[in-house]
Structure 1
Amino acid sequence: MTIRLIYKSRATFPPFSVTDVDIMREADSHNSENDITGFLVRLDWMYIQVLEGEREAVNTLIQGIIKDPRHYAYQMIQLVEIEQRMFGDWSMGYMDMSGKKLAFSSMLQGLSDTSPAEDMGHVLNHIAHAAQMQSGQP
């Protein structure tokens, strides 16, 4: 069963740090081997991450993420079964929005497990659009 899990957490190091590069390298290798796809958004001291894959693989990954000292205050936002991946071309995409004052930034900061489905849809669509722009797709 394929799932999509979205969580947010707080970074323990400042934006634009080489640590983000390390995270992406590790994610690319691990996720490719385990058929996990997704996208990581950095917004100042906050992360929002979308993970897609088989339930067992994603659950195993999340257990490691929760213990990772590079961030804290893990909060699961959404866990749903899906028929099709939104980030199937990305072992792990990344976008740093730190310092940008966008309406989308406010929505990300306020995201929680009680956020309306409509807000969650907007967030996923924005992240998917960012992924498409980075890959050069229309």
Structure 2
Amino acid sequence: MLVRLLYASRAATPLTSTVVDSILAQSRDHNPKFGITGILCYSDDLFLQVLEGGRDEVCELFNAIVRDDRHTNVRILSFEEIPERRFGGWTMGHVNMATVNPSLLLKYTERPQLNPFNCSGQASMALLLELIATASVIGRCA
């Protein structure tokens, strides 16, 4: 059974390219072994991530993320059973939200900045789908 989990968290320490690269490398190494796909968006001290895969695998990965000391304030925004993947093209695609047109963020949020803690899970998912549609996601699998 496939599921999709959308969560938000805050970075425990200031986000540097080293921290983000470490998270992405770990994800890209780990996720294919367990059939997990998704994307990670980050900005300032915020993460927004969607994970898709088998229920047990996604839940185990989420539990590991909650225990990961690089994340704080981890919050589930959406969890659902799904008939098919929407993020199947990425072992872990990513979007640096600083490179996204602010008007796109204003479409889904109160201010032109990423803050999934201040909007609904539905709006956050719509933003992710639009990021795919506008080719903003980096790291597509071969």
Cα 1:50–1:116, aligned 2, differ >3 Å: closer, same or farther? closer
Q: Where does residue 73 of structure 1 map in the other structure?
A: 73
Secondary structure at the aligned position of 1:66 is classed as helix
Q: Which among 125, 129, 141 is matched to residue 125 of structure 1? A: 129
Distance 2:136 2:102 in 1: 19
TM-fit CA distance, 1:100: 5.8
Report deviation, 1:126: 2.1
Q: Percent identical across equivalent pairs?
A: 31
Instruction: Extract unaligned runs of 5+ from structure 1.
Output: none
Quote the residue 1:109 is aligned against: 115
Corresponding residue of 1:92: 92
List per-residue Cα deviations over 1:8-49 (Å, max 9, x = no partner).
Answer: 000123234301101111101110100000000002110000
Deviation readout 1:95-128 (Å, 9 max, x if unpaired): 111376714445241456x8274x2452232232
Q: In terms of mean alpha carbon deviation, does 81-90 or 30-39 score higher? A: 81-90
Q: CA deviation at 1:70?
A: 0.6
Q: Can you give the 5+ residue segments of structure 2 that lack an aligned partner in the other structure? A: none
Structure 1 residue ranges, 4+ long, deviating more than 6 angstroms after superposition:
none
> 1:29 corresponds to which residue?
29
After TM superposition, the score normalised by the length of structure 2 is 0.81
CA pair 92-64 structure 1, distance change in 2 beyond 3 A: same
Residue equivalent to 2:138: 134
2: CA distance between counterparts of 1:67 and 1:116? 22
Aligned equivalents of 2:98, 2:29: Cα separation in 1: 25
Length, aligned pairs only:
134
